[in-house]
Structure 1
Amino acid sequence: MHITRTLALAATAAAALAVGTAIPAAGATPPDDSGVPSYQEFAASTYRDIDGSYLVNGDEVISGQSDLRSFYEQLVGPETPTDGLIVNTVNGADDKWSAAQVGSLTYCVSTKFGTRHADVVSAMASGAALWESASSKIDFVHVSSADGQCTTRNKSVVFSVEPVQTSQYIARAFFPSSPNRQQNVLIDDSIWSSGSWTPANILGHELGHTLGFRHEHTRPESGTCFEDNNWRPLTPYDSASIMHYPQCNGSSDDLSMTNSDRAGAVALYGS
């Protein structure tokens, strides 16, 4: 996403939030009756510098979308969740784990990651925590004793996390309905050089798939990147969702989790 607003407009937008005056982005929908621009409108109206950072209050730097949302919420409070996730469906039924299984999603991290093993363990824990903090019903459990024999054939864990060498993707995962032989998360070395996409957020996205969540951009509202119609909406469309590719008309560039992502997790698995 590239924003070419003036510095003055960025400062005005921040000031407008403080006093409750709307500064909508060009082409954006009007703000609600409160007169406060939505986060999407605020982000679109905030100047983005040549290094990708945002400028607020005239000359203050904010590094990315996650910090910009925090800045917005400090001014006006969290937005009411009005958007969220979609769940994969199989023959019309939600593709999800049972209540018992989602509370014990065990996994191993292959020692074949070598010197990056500890880094993968840490990134997986951080990515898992995004969903665990959304719903207390969700619990990813690293079984380190299985790391030495970490493949889909290891029946002591639900899924494996393994290295792969490919130019086709950074990482890939599976759905709850996937056959056992495909229940793994594969990670390419490019995960360590993906710019604003941190390993934790990338794996948070992939773990969203393991919970049954589809790419948000397959919805018609995104206008691109359509996949199929085998999904059910949990909440309205969210262009900033962790499950929405930024390059598919997404409004977040760092795959960070939104309040609506959390609401979608609760809608599927409970609070």
Structure 2
Amino acid sequence: MNCKRKPIPDRPSEPRRESLQKLKKLSQNFDLGIGTDVDADRVLFASNGRIYSEDVIGAIFAREYTKDKMVTPINSSSLIERVAKEYGFEVIYCPVGPPEIAEHIIKHRATYGYEETGKYIFPPDTLWGDSILSTINLLKIMNSSGKTLNELAGEFPEYYQIKRKIPVKREIKREVAEKIGEYLEKNKPDGAIKIIRVDGVKIIYDNSWLLIRSSGTEDVIRVFSDAQSEKRAMKLVELGMNLVKRFLSDFQQG
């Protein structure tokens, strides 16, 4: 597919489910299909007419390549914690962004790292996402296990992640997010197990979480949720959206 060189690709440059529908359809008759971005640091994988979650692929790699520690940003799925508990390694969380991942890998001497945008990192070979190396490593796992990608992915429970964002003026977005974090630390929501303040504020529940953070690239506050049911994920993201709107209203009135 898309073998002819072009300065502008035939699809949106980001490898996302929505932009890889042709690959999804074509992969029906293949063991593996890959979709990358223009600089090939991000990759999504397809097989048998299905595009697989970046977090599920991240978990497949983590099980194979993590020895004692791995690094991932604060917005990765709860799935990785579940895998870590089962296979006995530590998950070290960092702020969102490849430079942060690389710094934490070096600092903690981790043997693997990933970002939920489809960037998989295998030190010491790389400290940055590499779609070609990721593809080779996935093929190695498939070959050594004798399993298809569908069979490998089926060994992990499914999690649902919902992502929303609210436009906020650049000059106040960080302050609004900070105020929300301070409020939630003092007023922990019902059922919350702990509050993490690594990059924004993350509320950890049993097998689910809510994350509210100021974007580093857009004038928005991002609200992410993650849970084992779509209904639970939607309930959490609505809670987060309402919190942001409430604090924004207070800022505007003040």
Given the two structures, how large is their TM-score scaled by the length of structure 2?
A: 0.25
Higher helix share: 2
Higher strand share: 2
Q: Relative contact order: is structure 1 or structure 2 higher (C-alpha 8 Å, sep ≥ 6)? A: 1
Given the two structures, how large is their TM-score scaled by the length of structure 1?
A: 0.23
